[in-house]
Structures are given as C-alpha cells and as structure tokens.
C-alpha cells in the first residue's frame, strides 16, 4: 500500500485568518494526516492548531525539513509514505517548494511513485507579478541576491539587462529590504521600471510600480518588512 504526500498551503502572515485565504479542502486534508513535515516544530504546531484540537494535534507526529536538513534524512522522511501513510508538507508561509524547502522530498516521492497532491493558496511571487502590471508572459525568479555589495550590484546590473526580455523577480530578508531599495534607486537606469510589493495580503499591503526616476523622488518608506522586488524594461 502506497501513502500520499499533501502539499499544504499556508497564509503569508501567521496573524491572518486562514479562512480567507485557504480553501475548505485544506481543513479536510489536515484531518486525514498521519504526520506533518514543517520547517520547524514550532511552526508546524502553530499550523496544526488552526485545524485540530489539542488532543488531535498531540497525537500527530511532526518532522522538520528546512535548509539545514541533510539529504540523508530524506529517506527517513519518505519512509512513512512508503508504508502507506498520508503526510503533509507545509512551509512557514505561502506554498511549499516555492522559494521554500521541500522540492527534494517531492522529487524523491515522484521517483518512488508516491502520489503527491497540492492545493491552491497564497503565493507572494505570483501575487506580486499580478499586482505589478509588469510583463507576465515571461519571468524569472532569483530567490535571494548576493549579500556583498560589489557582487549584489553586479547581479542587479545583469538582471536589469535581462529585464528587457522578461520580468526579473527576487526577495530579500525583511531587515535588508530598505537597503536593497536604496541600492536599486542608486544604480538602475532612470527609465527602468521597478516594483516593490510589500506585506502582500495584509492590511498594510503596498505595491508600487514606477520608473526608477520617479522612485528617486518618492517618499515611500520601507521598514523591516517582507518584500518582493521586480524589474521590467520590456516595451
């Protein structure tokens, strides 16, 4: 008997009510789980608390999978599924495997012919692209850019050139978002279009798309907030 891996969506901020962003089928799916894989045990428990009673949650095994998990542990994570159990995979925010850990586990499940199912849910990257007004036929996502300034500026220059042909997207750690914006305003060509999408789906959501020339005179203030950055020079 073969089990199943369920890719469970999460809200983009844990303070948000999941009923507004996740389909009702997720609650049914969580009730069917025999185990959950999360980025941390604490985050996993917070997620389960949305759908299960304390007693139900206490009975459910929880394993972790994050950027520090060695590949050797994937076999132990996949073992319950090979025995016929149904487990879920959840990220701290948004969709599993999209700018988050999980892809190696899904690949291993595919190789072992274990069914994998996913659910609709919020994704900051897709939301940012939709709200930017930028070219959506072709786009590339680059995760986090280099941290050291010389390498970062070189990478931004490369992305600006590529943005003539496809929209370029990346994210930054919230505490470095303001610095990223200042560097972009300083080194990008005035006619390049830049979008900054901040706190998506939250009450203080802000999405601003304009040329770098206009950004330089904009009083937009970016604090330690989660943001998606997009470039588009396509005409």
Q: Which domains does the chain have, with CATH numbers?
A: 4-118 (3.40.1010.10), 124-232 (3.30.950.10)
> Average pLDDT in the 158-170 region?
97
Question: What confidence category does residue 71 fall into, taking pLDDT thresholds of 50, 70 and 90?
Answer: confident
What pTM did the predictor assign? 0.92
Neighbours of 181 (CB within 10 A): 21
Sheet strands side by side (includes 167-172) = 139-144, 167-172, 227-232, 193-198, 206-211
> Average pLDDT in the 72-77 region?
92
> Average pLDDT in the 191-219 region?
96
Tens digits of residue pLDDT in 102-129? 999 999 999 999 999 999 999 999 999 9
- 173: closest CA among 145, 142, 210? 145
| pLDDT of 1 strictly over 90 | no
- 143: closest CA among 175, 182, 98? 98
CA–CA separation, 200 vs 131, rounded Å?
Answer: 10
Q: What is the pLDDT of residue 180?
A: 97
> Average pLDDT in the 181-206 region?
96
Q: What is the pLDDT of residue 217?
A: 94
Question: What confidence category does residue 235 fall into, taking pLDDT thresholds of 50, 70 and 90?
Answer: low
Count of residues for the chain?
Answer: 235
Question: What confidence category does residue 184 fall into, taking pLDDT thresholds of 50, 70 and 90?
Answer: very high
Report helix angle 149-162 to 177-187, nearest 10.
60
C-beta separation of 17 from 26 below 8 A: no
CA–CA separation, 50 vs 27, rounded Å?
Answer: 9
> Average pLDDT in the 68-96 region?
94
Neighbours of 22 (CB within 10 A): 23
Angle at 65 between CA 58 and CA 105, to 5 degrees: 115
Strand-strand pairing, 193-198 and 227-232: antiparallel
Chain-wide mean pLDDT for the chain? 95
CA–CA separation, 70 vs 66, rounded Å?
Answer: 9
Does an H or E element contain 229, and which? strand 227-232
């Amino acid at each position: 008997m073969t089990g199943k891996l369920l890719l469970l969506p999460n809200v983009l901020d844990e303070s948000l009510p999941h009923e507004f962003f996740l389909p009702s089928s997720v609650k049914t799916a969580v009730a069917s789980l025999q185990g959950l894989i999360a980025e941390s045990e604490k985050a996993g428990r917070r997620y389960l608390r949305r759908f299960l009673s304390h007693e139900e949650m206490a009975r459910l095994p929880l394993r972790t999978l994050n950027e520090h998990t060695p590949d050797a542990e994937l076999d132990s994570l996949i073992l319950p599924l090979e025995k016929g159990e149904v487990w879920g995979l959840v990220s701290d925010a948004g969709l599993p495997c999209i700018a988050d850990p999980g892809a190696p586990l899904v690949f291993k499940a595919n190789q072992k012919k274990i069914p994998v199912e996913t659910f609709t849910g919020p994704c900051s990257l897709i939301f940012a692209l939709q709200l930017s007004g930028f070219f959506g036929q072709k786009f590339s996502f680059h995760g986090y850019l280099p941290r050291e300034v010389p390498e970062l500026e070189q990478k931004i220059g490369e992305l600006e050139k590529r943005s003539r042909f496809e929209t370029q997207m990346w994210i930054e750690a919230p505490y470095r978002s303001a610095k990223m914006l200042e560097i972009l305003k300083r080194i990008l060509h005035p006619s390049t279009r830049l979008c900054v999408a901040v706190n998506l789906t939250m009450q203080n959501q802000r999405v601003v798309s304009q040329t770098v020339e206009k950004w330089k005179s904009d009083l937009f203030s970016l604090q330690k907030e989660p943001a998606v950055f997009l470039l588009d020079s396509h005409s």
